Amino acid sequence: MNADILFTIWLSEYKFFEPFFQIISTRLFSFSLLFLFSIYFFIKKKFWIFVFIILAILVGDFLGALLKEILSEERPCFGNNGKLLISEGILESLCGEQKTGMPSNHALNFFLFTSLFFLIERNLLITFFLILISILVGLSRVFLIKHFLSQVIMGSAIGLIFGVLFYEIYKRIIKKWTFQ
Protein backbone atom coordinates (compact mmCIF):
# COMPACT_ATOMS: atom_id res chain seq x y z
CA MET A 1 0.00 0.00 0.00
CA ASN A 2 1.21 3.51 -0.76
CA ALA A 3 1.46 6.36 1.76
CA ASP A 4 -1.72 8.04 0.47
CA ILE A 5 -3.82 4.94 1.10
CA LEU A 6 -2.20 4.32 4.49
CA PHE A 7 -2.90 7.91 5.59
CA THR A 8 -6.52 7.69 4.39
CA ILE A 9 -7.02 4.45 6.31
CA TRP A 10 -5.37 5.91 9.43
CA LEU A 11 -7.42 9.14 9.33
CA SER A 12 -10.67 7.24 8.75
CA GLU A 13 -10.28 5.58 12.16
CA TYR A 14 -11.18 8.87 13.88
CA LYS A 15 -14.93 8.70 13.23
CA PHE A 16 -15.71 11.38 15.84
CA PHE A 17 -14.32 13.96 13.36
CA GLU A 18 -16.94 13.10 10.74
CA PRO A 19 -19.62 15.71 11.65
CA PHE A 20 -16.97 18.44 11.87
CA PHE A 21 -15.32 17.47 8.58
CA GLN A 22 -18.71 17.21 6.88
CA ILE A 23 -19.53 20.79 7.91
CA ILE A 24 -16.24 22.47 7.00
CA SER A 25 -16.21 20.81 3.60
CA THR A 26 -19.54 22.36 2.54
CA ARG A 27 -20.20 25.38 0.36
CA LEU A 28 -22.26 26.85 3.20
CA PHE A 29 -19.16 26.94 5.40
CA SER A 30 -17.07 28.52 2.60
CA PHE A 31 -19.67 31.13 1.78
CA SER A 32 -20.20 31.93 5.46
CA LEU A 33 -16.48 32.65 5.80
CA LEU A 34 -16.55 34.79 2.67
CA PHE A 35 -19.51 36.71 4.07
CA LEU A 36 -17.64 37.36 7.34
CA PHE A 37 -14.61 38.57 5.42
CA SER A 38 -16.75 40.80 3.23
CA ILE A 39 -17.94 42.48 6.45
CA TYR A 40 -14.32 42.72 7.66
CA PHE A 41 -13.18 44.45 4.46
CA PHE A 42 -16.29 46.65 4.34
CA ILE A 43 -15.69 47.88 7.90
CA LYS A 44 -12.01 48.52 7.10
CA LYS A 45 -13.14 50.43 3.98
CA LYS A 46 -11.19 48.03 1.78
CA PHE A 47 -14.06 46.35 -0.01
CA TRP A 48 -12.22 46.52 -3.37
CA ILE A 49 -9.50 44.34 -1.90
CA PHE A 50 -12.16 41.77 -1.04
CA VAL A 51 -13.49 41.94 -4.61
CA PHE A 52 -9.93 41.42 -5.91
CA ILE A 53 -9.47 38.38 -3.64
CA ILE A 54 -12.78 36.88 -4.83
CA LEU A 55 -11.74 37.36 -8.47
CA ALA A 56 -8.37 35.74 -7.69
CA ILE A 57 -10.15 32.75 -6.13
CA LEU A 58 -12.42 32.41 -9.18
CA VAL A 59 -9.40 32.42 -11.50
CA GLY A 60 -7.53 30.00 -9.19
CA ASP A 61 -10.53 27.66 -9.07
CA PHE A 62 -10.76 27.71 -12.87
CA LEU A 63 -7.03 26.96 -13.22
CA GLY A 64 -7.34 24.16 -10.65
CA ALA A 65 -10.20 22.64 -12.66
CA LEU A 66 -8.06 22.92 -15.79
CA LEU A 67 -5.20 21.12 -14.01
CA LYS A 68 -7.63 18.36 -12.98
CA GLU A 69 -8.43 17.77 -16.64
CA ILE A 70 -4.77 17.84 -17.69
CA LEU A 71 -3.45 15.62 -14.88
CA SER A 72 -6.47 13.30 -14.91
CA GLU A 73 -5.63 11.60 -11.61
CA GLU A 74 -8.02 9.25 -9.84
CA ARG A 75 -9.72 10.13 -6.59
CA PRO A 76 -9.39 7.60 -3.74
CA CYS A 77 -12.88 6.19 -4.35
CA PHE A 78 -12.06 5.05 -7.93
CA GLY A 79 -10.51 1.90 -9.32
CA ASN A 80 -8.26 -0.37 -7.30
CA ASN A 81 -7.81 2.17 -4.50
CA GLY A 82 -11.57 2.39 -4.09
CA LYS A 83 -11.86 -1.40 -4.05
CA LEU A 84 -9.18 -1.56 -1.36
CA LEU A 85 -10.99 1.05 0.75
CA ILE A 86 -14.24 -0.92 0.33
CA SER A 87 -12.48 -4.10 1.51
CA GLU A 88 -11.15 -2.19 4.54
CA GLY A 89 -14.73 -1.13 5.40
CA ILE A 90 -13.92 2.56 4.92
CA LEU A 91 -15.85 3.14 1.70
CA GLU A 92 -19.28 1.80 0.83
CA SER A 93 -19.08 1.99 -2.95
CA LEU A 94 -17.02 3.29 -5.84
CA CYS A 95 -17.80 6.86 -6.85
CA GLY A 96 -17.70 6.95 -10.63
CA GLU A 97 -15.16 7.20 -13.39
CA GLN A 98 -14.13 10.87 -13.56
CA LYS A 99 -10.44 11.37 -12.94
CA THR A 100 -10.54 14.74 -11.18
CA GLY A 101 -8.43 14.16 -8.10
CA MET A 102 -5.36 16.33 -8.65
CA PRO A 103 -5.26 19.01 -7.29
CA SER A 104 -7.78 19.49 -4.51
CA ASN A 105 -9.57 22.72 -5.40
CA HIS A 106 -10.84 23.05 -1.83
CA ALA A 107 -7.24 23.18 -0.58
CA LEU A 108 -6.17 25.40 -3.48
CA ASN A 109 -8.93 27.96 -2.83
CA PHE A 110 -8.49 28.07 0.94
CA PHE A 111 -4.71 28.45 0.76
CA LEU A 112 -5.02 31.03 -2.02
CA PHE A 113 -7.38 33.08 0.16
CA THR A 114 -5.17 32.65 3.22
CA SER A 115 -1.96 33.67 1.47
CA LEU A 116 -3.56 36.69 -0.22
CA PHE A 117 -5.15 37.82 3.03
CA PHE A 118 -1.83 37.58 4.85
CA LEU A 119 0.19 39.33 2.14
CA ILE A 120 -2.29 42.19 1.86
CA GLU A 121 -3.43 42.64 5.46
CA ARG A 122 -0.47 41.30 7.50
CA ASN A 123 -2.84 40.38 10.33
CA LEU A 124 -1.12 37.48 12.10
CA LEU A 125 -4.00 36.50 14.38
CA ILE A 126 -6.56 36.18 11.58
CA THR A 127 -3.95 34.55 9.32
CA PHE A 128 -3.24 31.91 11.98
CA PHE A 129 -6.99 31.22 12.15
CA LEU A 130 -7.14 30.95 8.33
CA ILE A 131 -4.14 28.60 8.20
CA LEU A 132 -5.81 26.35 10.76
CA ILE A 133 -9.07 26.35 8.80
CA SER A 134 -7.22 25.67 5.53
CA ILE A 135 -5.42 22.69 7.03
CA LEU A 136 -8.64 21.31 8.49
CA VAL A 137 -10.48 21.73 5.18
CA GLY A 138 -7.65 19.86 3.45
CA LEU A 139 -7.83 17.06 6.02
CA SER A 140 -11.60 16.92 5.61
CA ARG A 141 -11.12 16.14 1.91
CA VAL A 142 -8.95 13.15 2.85
CA PHE A 143 -11.24 12.03 5.68
CA LEU A 144 -14.30 12.20 3.39
CA ILE A 145 -12.35 10.17 0.80
CA LYS A 146 -12.62 12.89 -1.84
CA HIS A 147 -8.84 13.27 -2.26
CA PHE A 148 -5.56 11.66 -1.33
CA LEU A 149 -3.24 13.58 1.00
CA SER A 150 -0.83 14.17 -1.92
CA GLN A 151 -3.66 15.83 -3.91
CA VAL A 152 -4.46 18.08 -0.95
CA ILE A 153 -0.80 18.98 -0.47
CA MET A 154 -0.48 19.80 -4.17
CA GLY A 155 -3.66 21.91 -4.07
CA SER A 156 -2.32 23.74 -1.02
CA ALA A 157 1.02 24.43 -2.69
CA ILE A 158 -0.63 25.66 -5.89
CA GLY A 159 -2.93 27.88 -3.80
CA LEU A 160 0.08 29.42 -2.04
CA ILE A 161 1.86 29.99 -5.35
CA PHE A 162 -1.25 31.56 -6.88
CA GLY A 163 -1.60 33.71 -3.75
CA VAL A 164 1.91 35.11 -4.25
CA LEU A 165 1.31 35.65 -7.98
CA PHE A 166 -2.00 37.44 -7.38
CA TYR A 167 -0.35 39.55 -4.67
CA GLU A 168 2.19 40.68 -7.26
CA ILE A 169 -0.70 41.69 -9.51
CA TYR A 170 -2.29 43.47 -6.56
CA LYS A 171 0.92 45.39 -5.82
CA ARG A 172 1.44 46.44 -9.42
CA ILE A 173 -2.11 47.27 -10.44
CA ILE A 174 -4.84 47.23 -7.81
CA LYS A 175 -2.93 49.00 -5.06
CA LYS A 176 -2.28 51.91 -7.42
CA TRP A 177 -5.93 52.14 -8.46
CA THR A 178 -7.18 52.29 -4.87
CA PHE A 179 -4.55 54.81 -3.71
CA GLN A 180 -3.36 52.75 -0.76
- Say what the pLDDT of residue 133 is: 96
Confidence band for 151, pLDDT divided at 50, 70 and 90: very high
- Say what the pLDDT of residue 153 is: 96
Whether pLDDT at 162 is above 70: yes
Residue 42 CA to residue 97 CA, distance in Å, equals: 43
Residue 83 or residue 159, greater confidence: 159
- Say what the pLDDT of residue 46 is: 87
SS3 at position 88: coil
Cα distances (angstroms) measured from residue 64 to each of 76, 110, 122, 168: 18, 12, 26, 19
- Say what the pLDDT of residue 19 is: 92
* pTM for this model (two decimals): 0.89
Q: What is the mean pLDDT of residues 62-88?
A: 85
Q: What is the mean pLDDT of residues 80-97?
A: 79
